[in-house]
C-alpha cells in the first residue's frame, strides 16, 4: 500500500471501526499453541463496540459499550436492559464509554469507576466518575477527575487500575497533538495517580512543582489503551499505540518520561522518520515494542488454575493486529512472544482473567462479542 494512502486508511479504521468482523466464525475445534490447547466459546453476542469488563465478587460481569451503555451478565446470560445512571458520554470517533474498574473495597462499598469521553469547553476530554452500583442502576454518581479537552475524537486513552496501595491510575492519550505529551502542565499523554476520591497524593512526583500538573505520575505517552497491575510486584504496566510501528509495553514509574514524540521505534504515517530517533538520555525505553503496529488494547497478567502453563504471562489484545499476544516474562523482561488467534476473531479490545481461571476477550465491532478461552 502506498505510504500516502496509509493515514486515510488508519483514520477510517480507528474512527469508525468495522461494522461486522471480516473474519471467520469462532473456531469449533481446539486451538493448539506453544504451551496449551484451548477452545474459544462465545459467552454473549449483540454487544455494540464493547470496551471493557469487570468481574463482580459474585461472578457477575459488568461490560461497557462505547456508545454509552453499561451491561451486566448474570449467570452467563446478558441482561437486555442496560444499567441506568451512566453519565452522558461523547460517543464519537474513539470516544465514548471506555473503561470500568471496581473499588478495592467493592465487596463492602459497591463503588465502581468509569472512564469516558465527555464534552467540555474547547472540545472533549477524558473523565472519570465514581458511583455506587445499585440494583439495575448507578447511584450517587460523581465526577472525580477531568482531563483537558481538545477537538476531534482521537486518543482518549483510557484505562483504570488500582495498585496494591489503593492508588487509582488513569491513562490519558495525547489527543493526537504530539507535543502535549511533553508538557508537564498538560494532562494529555500522561498517566495520572489519584486517591480514590480524585484528590492528588502529596507524594506524586510533580506535586508542588510550578507549571506542572500535580496529578501527573509519568509522561511522554502517546495513547495508552491497556493497563494491568502485576499480581506479585504491584507494578503498573501499560501498553500504548505508536504511530506506524512502535507500539510499546511500559512499566510505569514515578516521574519517568517515556519519550513520545521525541523518541519512538515507529515512523510517521507518511513513512518518514519521527522525532530524534529511538533513544535519548533521560527518556525510558519500552520493555517490548512492536514493528509493525498491532494497536494493543486491553491486557492482563494470567493467574489461575485453568492454564498452569501460562502462569505469570502477560496477554495483550490487538485491534489492527487482530490477535492475542502472549508475552512470556523473566522478571521485567519480555523473553518470548506468541501470537494466538491471529486473524481469527478480529479486533480484540479487552482481555481479563475470570474467577474461573479462563481468559475472557471482548471483540470491538458493532456486533461485538464476549468470548472465553477454556482448556481443550
pLDDT tens per residue, the chain (376 residues)? 333 333 333 333 333 344 444 444 688 789 999 999 999 999 999 999 999 999 999 999 999 999 999 999 999 999 999 999 999 999 999 999 999 999 999 999 999 999 999 999 999 999 999 999 999 999 999 999 999 999 999 999 999 999 999 999 999 999 999 999 999 999 999 999 999 999 999 999 999 999 999 999 999 999 999 999 999 999 999 999 999 999 999 999 999 999 999 999 999 999 999 999 999 999 999 999 999 999 999 999 999 999 999 999 999 999 999 999 999 999 999 999 999 999 999 999 999 999 999 999 999 999 999 999 999 9
Distance CA 265, CA 247 (A): 8
- Pick among 2.120.10.30, 3.40.50.720, 2.60.40.10, 2.40.128.630: CATH of 3-375: 2.120.10.30
| Residue 246 · residue 265 · CB < 8 Å | yes
Q: Select from 29, 47, 49, 48 the least CA-distant residue to 39.
A: 29
Give the active site residues: 155
In DSSP notation, 149-172 reads PBSSS------EEE-TT--EEEEE
CB atoms within 10 A of CB 109: 13
Residue labelled with grid coordinates 497524593: 201
Q: Is the pTM of this model over 0.75?
A: yes
In DSSP notation, 266-311 reads SB-TTS---TT-S--TTSPPPSEEESS---EEEEEE--SSS-GGGT
Contacts of 246 (CB under 8 A, 6+ apart): 264, 265, 266, 267, 289, 290, 291, 293
Residue 137 gets which letter from DSSP? B
Give residue limits of the domains in the chain: 3-375
Amino acid at each position: 500500500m502506498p505510504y500516502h494512502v496509509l493515514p486515510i486508511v488508519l483514520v477510517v479504521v480507528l474512527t469508525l471501526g468495522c461494522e461486522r468482523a471480516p473474519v471467520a466464525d469462532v473456531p469449533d475445534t481446539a486451538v493448539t499453541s506453544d504451551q496449551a490447547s484451548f477452545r474459544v466459546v462465545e459467552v454473549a453476542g449483540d454487544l455494540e463496540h464493547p470496551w471493557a469488563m469487570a468481574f463482580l465478587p459474585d461472578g457477575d460481569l459488568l461490560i461497557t459499550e462505547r456508545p454509552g451503555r453499561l451491561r451486566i451478565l448474570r449467570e452467563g446470560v446478558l441482561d437486555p436492559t442496560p444499567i441506568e445512571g451512566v453519565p452522558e458520554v461523547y460517543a464519537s470517533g474513539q470516544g465514548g464509554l471506555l473503561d470500568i474498574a471496581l473499588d478495592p473495597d467493592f465487596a463492602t462499598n459497591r463503588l465502581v469507576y468509569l472512564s469516558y469521553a465527555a464534552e467540555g469547553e474547547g472540545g472533549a476530554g477524558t473523565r472519570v466518575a465514581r458511583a455506587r452500583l445499585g440494583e439495575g442502576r448507578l447511584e450517587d454518581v460523581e465526577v472525580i477527575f477531568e482531563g483537558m479537552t481538545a477537538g476531534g475524537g482521537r486518543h482518549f486513552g483510557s484505562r483504570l487500575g488500582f495498585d496494591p496501595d489503593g492508588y487509582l491510575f488513569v491513562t490519558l492519550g495525547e489527543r493526537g497533538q504530539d507535543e502535549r505529551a511533553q508538557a508537564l502542565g498538560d494532562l494529555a499523554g500522561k498517566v495520572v495517580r489519584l486517591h480514590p476520591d480524585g484528590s492528588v497524593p502529596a507524594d506524586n512526583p510533580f506535586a508542588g512543582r510550578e507549571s506542572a500538573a500535580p496529578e501527573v505520575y509519568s509522561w511522554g505517552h502517546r495513547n495508552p489503551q491497556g493497563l494491568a497491575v502485576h499480581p506479585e510486584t504491584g507494578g503498573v504496566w501499560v501498553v500504548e499505540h505508536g504511530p506506524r510501528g512502535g507500539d510499546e509495553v511500559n512499566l510505569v514509574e514515578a516521574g519517568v518520561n517515556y519519550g513520545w514524540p521525541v523518541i519512538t521505534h515507529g515512523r510517521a504515517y507518511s513513512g518518514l522518520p519521527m522525532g530524534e530517533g529511538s533513544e535519548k538520555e533521560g527518556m525510558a525505553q519500552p520493555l517490548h515494542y512492536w514493528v509493525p503496529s498491532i494497536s494493543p488494547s486491553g491486557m492482563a497478567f494470567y493467574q489461575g488454575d485453568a492454564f498452569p502453563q501460562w502462569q505469570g504471562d502477560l496477554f495483550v489484545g490487538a485491534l489492527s493486529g487482530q490477535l492475542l499476544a502472549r508475552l512470556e516474562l523473566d522478571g521485567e523482561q519480555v523473553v518470548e512472544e506468541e501470537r494466538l488467534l491471529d486473524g481469527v476473531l478480529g479486533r480484540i479490545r479487552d482481555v481479563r482473567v475470570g474467577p474461573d481461571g479462563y481468559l475472557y476477550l471482548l471483540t470491538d465491532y458493532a456486533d461485538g462479542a464476549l468470548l472465553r478461552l477454556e482448556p481443550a
